[in-house]
Chains A and B, each alone.
Chain A
Amino acid sequence: MNFRALLGVAPLLVVALGGALLMVAEAFSRRRDDDEHGPTGPSSELALATAVTLFVGAIFSAAVWFVGPEKIEGANAVAPYIVVDRFTTFVSFILCLGAGLSALLAGGYLPEHKLDRGEFYPLLTFSTVGAMILASAGDVLSLFIGLETMSLGVYAMTGFRRTSPRSTEAAVKYFLLGSFAAALLLYGAALLYGATGHTDFDGIRQALITPVGKPNRGLTLIAATLVLVGMAFKVSAVPFHMWTPDAYEGAPTPATGYMAVAVKTAAFASLLRVLLGALGHPDLASWGSGWPPVLAFLAVLTMTVANLTAGRQESVKRMLAYSSIAHAGYVLVAVVAMPKAGAESQGAVLFYLLAYTVSTVGAFGALILCGSRGAEAVSYEDLAGLGKRHPAAAAAFSLFLLSLAGVPPTAGFFGKLNVVKAAIGAGHIALTVVLLINSVLAAYYYLRVLVYMYMRDPAPGAPIAKPMRSGYVAGALVLAAIAVIGLGLWPVLPLRVALAAALAAK
């Protein structure tokens, strides 16, 4: 192994080293206990440093992409534990981007709501390291390590508001269910190992194909089911979504944004690798005898239940939580289409994850922007009349919600378009119809926010959300807005990049 090989894992190393430095910097920074100075505590600088670290990680990912991971000699020296290919690089880019934007949001949010503790940033960074490992894992062992590294940080971030029972409840709930899911996944992995004698995805697939010493079919099915259930927990597909609304609502909003974006993206990336790699056997990937109908069922359930429930929410944050579940359902449609539509479908998944990341971070960021001084904007009523009082905040919120709803010319529209194209290409007409009906359902609750912001005046005497002033949040929103509009206006190049990334994952 030579040291040039490290270039391939450079994004991972940058983020990990940055996390270690941030941790020390946080410990040695002076803690200000007075609240008089407002949002200028040490954590604001830490937020900037974290965002810079993560954006540098994203730039390194892009650099590895341009060099070409396959051209870096020895980049795959530790494969299959860490696979360096275009798929990894693309997903790492999305993860770093989403996490960096979340860090900027935290830089404004935490001081404003008196949660000014610097531990948030190293946790965020290390969690991103875990997510990147998860996305690049070609082996069950490193998959599990990545998953746990990612989750541990997120559990702690969920319970960050230590004095609030809500936040603690969310953290405990998430921790228990998350550990349970991890245990199921590990059990499934152990059974897969028992059935095939391999822990790497390629080895498992080969063993399932070889007619000699054929693995026990029942054992394989049980193992595959357990692994899929574990993954479904992480991407919060119905009926494994119960933790999501509570965890998302109880967590501080930047952490919610991070969970909705990075955790889901990494889990989907890993799901693709597992489905294409370990369970890529033609029998297991066929409609008649494999996972596609199961995932199709999950997709239909996820979209429908999430959208119906989201429409009934009174809290905007909870609505966004259900919306993120619904989006997992849309992505699952493209995942179902994978065996038939091939790379086009995987490209659709990756593009969707990118579009979803920038739109969702933006939406949570806009929600953060609408609250200040310990008073967060919670309900629809809090947002009433925002369009007149603070047009910029309202415009940003509207843009991201329209993107989530899939209105052209935004990123979300092309994300959905590609998913629909892939699903039709694979002949899943019924699934496509369900997706389209659900998009219409979803438009109701997204547009409801717009109606409140632009067409309602706040009820007399009602607490009015005052937007906060924060360069960090504003900066994150501007970046996200540029990405949302850019992806919406020029979707061809990013889509081509996503396709190239998809081809790398076999």
Chain B
Amino acid sequence: MSSYLPLFLLFLIAAVLAVVLFTLATVLGPKNPTPEKLMPFECGGDSEGSRFVRPSVKFYLTAILFVVFDIEVVLMYPWVVSFKSLGWMGFVTMASFVSLLVVALAYVWKKGALEWEK
């Protein structure tokens, strides 16, 4: 337990330092607010619209499809490495997994999930 003590001290110092620095900056720093300065900074341009932007659900769909096919590749790497030792059983297993994903791909394609503009 005691071997973690330095780590704990490090966290403590970091936290204290952050609090102290921000407090000092707030208390000691000069303040001269103007309406211009109080506006949210947006690459130098005037900010427009609400802060709350609702992303289109299309992004969600694309993201989830990406994750699905990404994970497929993640699972394939270790399979490739141990391809010889797994033998035919491994091949059949991976083949059925990939063909299931092909079925899913056909489904999302047909349903139009891959088209950005409908």
- Interchain nearest-CB distance for B46 vs A (Å): 39
Q: Contact check, A28 vs B103: say whether CB atoms are below 8 A apart.
A: no
Q: Which of these, A1, A20, A28, contacts B110 with CB under 8 Å? A: A28
* Majority SS at the chain A contact face: helix
Extra A-B contacts (11), CB below 8 Å, given A24-B110, A27-B110, A27-B111: A1-B89, A20-B100, A20-B103, A23-B103, A23-B107, A24-B103, A24-B106, A24-B107, A27-B106, A27-B107, A28-B110
Interface residues contributed by chain B, number (CB under 8 Å): 7
Closest to A122 in B: B107
Chain B residues with CB under 8 A of A28:
110
Q: How far is the CA of A60 from the CA of B91 in the complex (A)?
A: 26
Q: How far is the CA of A28 from the CA of B110 in the complex (A)?
A: 7
For B27-56 the 0/1 string (1 means CB < 8 A from A) is 000000000000000000000000000000
- Interchain nearest-CB distance for B11 vs A (Å): 24
Chain A residues with CB under 8 A of B111:
27
Chain B residues with CB under 8 A of A20:
100, 103
Chain B residues with CB under 8 A of A27:
106-107, 110-111
Interface residues contributed by chain A, number (CB under 8 Å): 6
Closest to B109 in A: A27
User: A-B pairs with the 8 shortest C-beta distances?
Assistant: A27-B110, A27-B107, A20-B103, A23-B107, A27-B111, A24-B103, A28-B110, A1-B89
Q: Which residues of B42-99 have CB atoms within 8 Å of chain A's CB atoms? A: 89
Chain A residues with CB under 8 A of B110:
24, 27-28
Closest to B103 in A: A20
Closest to B112 in A: A27
Chain A residues with CB under 8 A of B89:
1
Closest to A29 in B: B110
Chain A residues with CB under 8 A of B107:
23-24, 27
Chain B residues with CB under 8 A of A23:
103, 107
- Interchain nearest-CB distance for A82 vs B (Å): 14
Chain B residues with CB under 8 A of A1:
89
Q: How far is the CA of A230 from the CA of B89 in the complex (A)?
A: 37
- Interchain nearest-CB distance for B58 vs A (Å): 18
A-B CB contact pairs (8 Å), 14 listed: A1-B89, A20-B100, A20-B103, A23-B103, A23-B107, A24-B103, A24-B106, A24-B107, A24-B110, A27-B106, A27-B107, A27-B110, A27-B111, A28-B110
Chain A residues with CB under 8 A of B100:
20
Chain B residues with CB under 8 A of A24:
103, 106-107, 110
- Interchain nearest-CB distance for A145 vs B (Å): 15
